[in-house]
Structure 1
Amino acid sequence: MAAEPIAAREKKSIDSRPWRQGKLSSVYRSRWFYLMMVPGLIYYILFHYVPMAGTLIAFQNYNLMKGIWGSSWVGFDNFRIIFDNPEFLQIMRNTLIISIYKIIGNMVPDVILALMLNEVRVRWFKKTVQTITYGPYFLSWVIVYGLAFSFLAPGSGLISTFVRDMGWGQIDLMADKNFFRPMLVLTEIWKNTGFGAIIYLAALASINQELYEAAVVDGAGRWRQLWHITLPGLRDVFVLLLIIRIGGILDAGFDQVFIFLNARVYDVGDIVDTWVYRYGFERLEFGVAAAMGVFKSLVGLILVIGANKLAKKVGGSGIW
């Protein structure tokens, strides 16, 4: 093959100069925006990417004194311990059930509250309701547990005392296996619904108002507008949040479950994260705990990719 003529190479070099200069000038004009990105990039590098080196612990008999590089390698033995553990199927079942309950119990109330607030025309009333429902989001789960305990504690709780005084007997809902999972869902709805509704309110604000005006001209009522304009306008946001939640389906909410959990409800409330906590901090089996973390990450990755492809096939828009 003949070599490319020198004139042609020089012409390509000259043609590429304006493009390079344009890119450099664009970067220079946006230099302050790139500078504002630096703290966020540093945060993710230090706390999300550098700690990934700890994944090696999953393949080691980790020793605190020897560290990552001094501990002995055991291959996949830690994963065998997990899958051979008689508690594995039970904690996976509990985790999936609680996560599915929370996905259904959280996303639907978020949408309903957002739709209700969107229909309110009195601004001060709308802002008041939004502030009241958004407030519990800032409470820690310790405080939420304290509030739940004040209502449900056996013998001294408000509801328990009312049932006893009415002559209906003694109840202990905090240690009731049948009530534990619904209690988790109800407390999470009370705590997080206001925050979730804000995301959907932002999506509602982005819907073109001319669509509603055209629907009114065509004689569509409020229900028709809701069905044909409002809900389709929320579809992409709903699918996006659903994919994210499906990816974290093995994260059933450690903070909440760990605080509400007690010995009498272990059969229905013990999840992957509480099991990892016991192995990692109580038994000091850091390798086994890290192996479970790797397993959770792989499952989450597979579910996110699968949910994203499924969302695109049914006509929605995925994450990428």
Structure 2
Amino acid sequence: MRGTAPAPALMPGERMKPKWMRTFWRYRWLYLFMVPGIAYYIIFHYIPMFGLVVAFQNYNLMEGIFGSPWVGLDNFRTVFSSPDFPVLIKNTLLLSFYRIIFNMLPDLVLALMLNEIRVRWFKKTIQTLTYGPHFLSWIIVYGIMFSFFAPGSGLVTTFFRDMGWGSIDVLTNSEWFRPMLVLTDIWKSTGYGAIIYLAALAGINNELYESASMDGAGRWRQLWHITLPGVRDVFILLVILRLGSILDAGFEQVYIFLNVRVYDVGDILDTWIFRRGIEQMDFSVPAAVGVFKSIIGFVLVLGANKLAKRFGGSGIW
């Protein structure tokens, strides 16, 4: 009969050591490989958290953290009492929800379409074309949009004017600004997002599809009962992670596309922080906004994770 594998023999000196010490020594090389990752998070993620005290100070760049006077919650009162705060929150939440609703479904749809393609070279070609825009910076994307939709001189605006269809205003129109951000983000990030779902699709057991085919299930039935449940946990995980950054709304893209004529619909918390912190050299109030964003994101992640588990998902932990 096959029995269990015998435990590794211990040296005479090891029997005298505590169990945790023997375990540590046995897996010492694995722990050694963990050191660079742990050091990275300590140095670049945990130690900088000491800078949160700036949110509770009237920070002076010359006096530093230890010399700046404490003001308690005054910076938070300044933020919440600002007449711009309701508009900033509204714009930030709307843009974030638009990104979650309209940007995640194209990723999944593209991955499902690529998964159904059986011609290998055609699949790789489509995946390369859709993945390519991810490597373009937002500066280049804005340059492309400007060349097409610049007021009075863009290719599309000139075409509309020459055809007698009137003028078209995309970059400086408040009604078009949010849809433009969403559409350009879809174009830029859909290919990259599909890779995550393709990895999840590759992990689905092919025997499930074979069994479904033998039972007479067509491609749509297999998609509904096997493929979509197979990527459900990944979809929920990505939603939870996006909810954690719901108050970010894509600073780089918004800041590059933003102009004075669309401030009422495009100015978000991060652009306001940038103007106040970098242009006005006021670091305490932006730090208070950063603490506020972190708390809201943390609460949303906890809530979304709990809801995911309640409805049968795996969640993050």
CA distance in 2, matches of 1:299, 1:318: 18
Question: Is 1:26 matched up with 2:26?
Answer: yes
Question: Is 1:245 matched up with 2:261?
Answer: no
Q: Quote the offset at 1:284 in angstroms.
A: 1.6
CA distance in 2, matches of 1:16, 1:88: 64
CA distance in 2, matches of 1:117, 1:256: 28
CA distance in 2, matches of 1:19, 1:110: 48
CA distance in 2, matches of 1:188, 1:37: 35
- Letter aligned with residue 156 of structure 1: S
Q: Quote the offset at 1:304 in angstroms.
A: 0.3
Seen in structure 2, the aligned counterparts of structure 1 residues 253 and 223 have a Cα distance that, compared at 3 Å, is same
| Secondary structure at the counterpart of residue 72 of structure 1 | coil
CA distance in 2, matches of 1:294, 1:202: 35
Deviations 1:42-82 (A, max 9, x none): 22222211111110000000000000000000000000000
Q: Quote the offset at 1:38 in angstroms.
A: 3.0
Deviations 1:243-298 (A, max 9, x none): 00011100100000000000000000000000111111122221001000000000
What TM-score, normalized to structure 2? 0.93
| Aligned twin of 1:130 | 127
Unaligned runs of 5+ in 2: 1-13
Q: Quote the offset at 1:117 in angstroms.
A: 0.2
CA distance in 1, matches of 2:105, 2:159: 31
CA distance in 1, matches of 2:24, 2:65: 42
Counterpart pick for 2:251 among 231, 254, 257: 254
Q: Relative to structure 2, which stretch is displaced further, 17-26 or 67-76?
A: 17-26
CA distance in 1, matches of 2:83, 2:257: 24
| Aligned twin of 2:68 | 71
| Aligned twin of 1:8 | none
Q: Quote the offset at 1:26 in angstroms.
A: 3.4
Q: Quote the offset at 1:317 in angstroms.
A: 1.3
- Letter aligned with residue 245 of structure 1: R
| Aligned twin of 1:268 | 265
| Aligned twin of 1:173 | 170
| Aligned twin of 2:311 | 314
Seen in structure 2, the aligned counterparts of structure 1 residues 220 and 17 have a Cα distance that, compared at 3 Å, is farther
Q: Quote the offset at 1:16 in angstroms.
A: 8.7
CA distance in 1, matches of 2:33, 2:270: 35
Seen in structure 2, the aligned counterparts of structure 1 residues 82 and 125 have a Cα distance that, compared at 3 Å, is same
CA distance in 2, matches of 1:76, 1:39: 37
What TM-score, normalized to structure 1? 0.92
Q: Quote the offset at 1:22 in angstroms.
A: 5.1
Counterpart pick for 2:226 among 226, 229, 232: 229
CA distance in 2, matches of 1:17, 1:217: 59
Q: Quote the offset at 1:19 in angstroms.
A: 4.1
Deviations 1:203-252 (A, max 9, x none): 00000111001100110000000000000000000000000001110010
CA distance in 2, matches of 1:21, 1:78: 49
Q: Quote the offset at 1:37 in angstroms.
A: 3.3
| Secondary structure at the counterpart of residue 175 of structure 1 | coil
CA distance in 2, matches of 1:42, 1:120: 43
- Letter aligned with residue 206 of structure 1: G
Task: Decide which structure has greater helix share.
Answer: 1
| Aligned twin of 1:189 | 186
Seen in structure 2, the aligned counterparts of structure 1 residues 224 and 72 have a Cα distance that, compared at 3 Å, is same
| Secondary structure at the counterpart of residue 151 of structure 2 | coil
Counterpart pick for 2:298 among 294, 298, 301: 301
CA distance in 2, matches of 1:293, 1:73: 18
- Letter aligned with residue 118 of structure 1: N
CA distance in 2, matches of 1:259, 1:48: 27
CA distance in 2, matches of 1:62, 1:264: 33
CA distance in 2, matches of 1:51, 1:114: 38
CA distance in 2, matches of 1:48, 1:259: 27
**Alpha-carbon RMSD:** 1.5
- Letter aligned with residue 251 of structure 1: D
Q: Quote the offset at 1:168 in angstroms.
A: 1.1
Seen in structure 2, the aligned counterparts of structure 1 residues 53 and 221 have a Cα distance that, compared at 3 Å, is same
Q: Relative to structure 2, which stretch is displaced further, 78-87 or 168-177?
A: 168-177
CA distance in 2, matches of 1:165, 1:144: 25
Question: Is 1:161 matched up with 2:158?
Answer: yes
| Secondary structure at the counterpart of residue 281 of structure 1 | helix
